[in-house]
Amino acid sequence: MNHSSHPPQTTGHKPVSLAKLGFVASDTEEAQQAQEDLSARYGGVPAQDADVIVALGGDGLMLQTLHEHMGSGKPIYGMNRGSVGFLMNEYREDQLLERLSKADVTTIRPLEMTATANDGTIHKAQAINEVSLLRQTSQAARLKVSVDSRMRLEELICDGILVATPAGSTAYNLSAHGPILPITAQLLALTPISAFRPRRWRGALLPNRARVDIEILDPKKRPVSASADHTEIRHVTHVSVCESTEAEGVIMFDSDHGWDERILTEMFRY
């Protein structure tokens, strides 16, 4: 992931003061009202015509908006109108254009998941936060884990396993006791979920160029699902995960409370 700590003064080829803003909102009454108020104040265009997209909601909406505009080059600036707002800036109606002109910009690369289902069909999806595998029944999953075609765990018995980006390291990965990664780290976190055997294995930090292959052992008796953010594939037999070398998303944070600061705050939270 590349991170720019220098406040950009332009968006695309236009100064932010001249940029067209597109407002998108979650379904809550609070978010819908914010969209109406901001559109009336600053003018709003459809997201596909915007230079900057302002997302009003929670982290779920931010992930959805990033996915929808992945590769477009359009920066996404979120303001929190939801319950969780790690990816969002504080909601304020005043001085929006000034905030945008001073915002830090982070370019993120998603994970690419290729999942093979038990009927042989192949599914592809992208994840900004993580790719996770979870058992579908009361039976623990049995997995074989390889990194860059070299087998690393012949058998992992667990509730599941996930591969997280630095952006996603404070989400599900943190709940599974995985490490928090600085946003500029060229790393991925490979984290088990309730590992039963080997009990002492707590996961691994991998270079972001690594390719992780997970084979599901005994998939009929111990079925497993795979999810790339909110896209779920059931009854998988094999999952491959690597960071995209082409797709990019762009996210904006207020310069006085950027992503680096948010992650450092999480690191020292107790």
And the tokens for 150?
A: 């070299």
Q: Which of 76-85, 131-140, 230-239 has the lowest mean pLDDT?
A: 76-85
- For the range 7-12, what are the long-range contacts, defined as Cβ-Cβ under 8 Å and sequence gap of 24 or more? 7/101, 7/102, 7/103, 7/104, 7/255, 8/101, 8/103, 8/105, 9/101, 11/51, 11/52, 11/75, 11/100, 12/51, 12/73
Collapsing DSSP states into helix, strand and coil, what is residue 65? helix
Same domain, 99 and 16: yes
103 and 116: one domain? no
Name the helix (H) or strand (E) containing 217. strand 211-217
By C-alpha distance, which of 229, 261, 208, 268 is closest to 86? Answer: 261
89 and 150 belong to one structural domain: no
Identify whether residues 124 and 223 lie together within a single domain: yes
123 plus 70 within the same structural domain: no
Are residue 236 and residue 257 in the same domain, yes or no? no
Structural domain including 115 reads: 111-243
- pLDDT value, residue 113: 98
**Long-range pairs of 262-265 with CB within 8 A, sequence gap ≥ 24:** 262/86, 262/170, 263/166, 263/169, 263/170, 263/180, 263/181, 263/182, 263/183, 264/182
pTM: 0.85
Whether residue 175 is annotated as binding a ligand: the answer is yes
- pLDDT (tens digit, 9 = 90+) per residue, 18-29? 689 999 999 999
Pairing mode, strands 249-253 and 122-127: unpaired
pLDDT digits (tens, 9 = 90+) for 255-265: 887 777 777 77
Q: Is pLDDT above 70 for 139?
A: yes
For residue 5, the tally of other CB atoms under 10 A from its CB is 11
Q: Are residues 142 and 189 in the same domain?
A: yes
167 known member of a binding site = yes
**Cis preceding linkage at 198, omega within 30:** yes
Give SS3 for 112.
Answer: strand
One domain, residues 128 and 217? yes
Q: Determine if residue 59 is labeled as part of a ligand binding site.
A: yes
**Same domain (yes/no): 227, 117:** yes
Q: Flag whether 174 is marked binding.
A: yes
Any idea which residues carry the catalytic annotation? 59
Q: Is 27 annotated as a binding residue?
A: no
Question: 152 and 125 in one domain?
Answer: yes
Strands 52-57 and 21-25 come out as: parallel
Beta bridge partners of 3: 106
Domain harbouring 211, CATH code: 2.60.200.30
Q: What is the mean pLDDT of the chain?
A: 91
Amino acid (one-letter) located at 59: D
Element (H, E) at 40: helix 29-42
Distance between CA atoms of residues 262 and 253, nearest Å: 10
172 is in an annotated binding site: yes
Q: How many domains, the chain?
A: 2
Does residue 173 have a known ligand-binding role?
Answer: yes
User: Using alpha carbons only, what angle is made at residue 245 by residues 178 and 155, rounded to the nearest 5 degrees?
Assistant: 40
Q: Give the Cα separation of 211 and 154 in Å (integer).
A: 17
Q: Same structural domain for residues 100 and 153?
A: no
Residue 226: pLDDT over 70: yes
Q: Determine whether the annotation assigns residue 159 to a binding site.
A: yes
CATH number for the domain that contains residue 47: 3.40.50.10330
Residues 188 and 222 in one domain: yes
219 is written with which tokens? 């998939």
| CA 241 – CA 231 distance, rounded (Å) | 14
pLDDT of residue 4: 42
User: Mean pLDDT across the stretch 44-55?
Assistant: 95
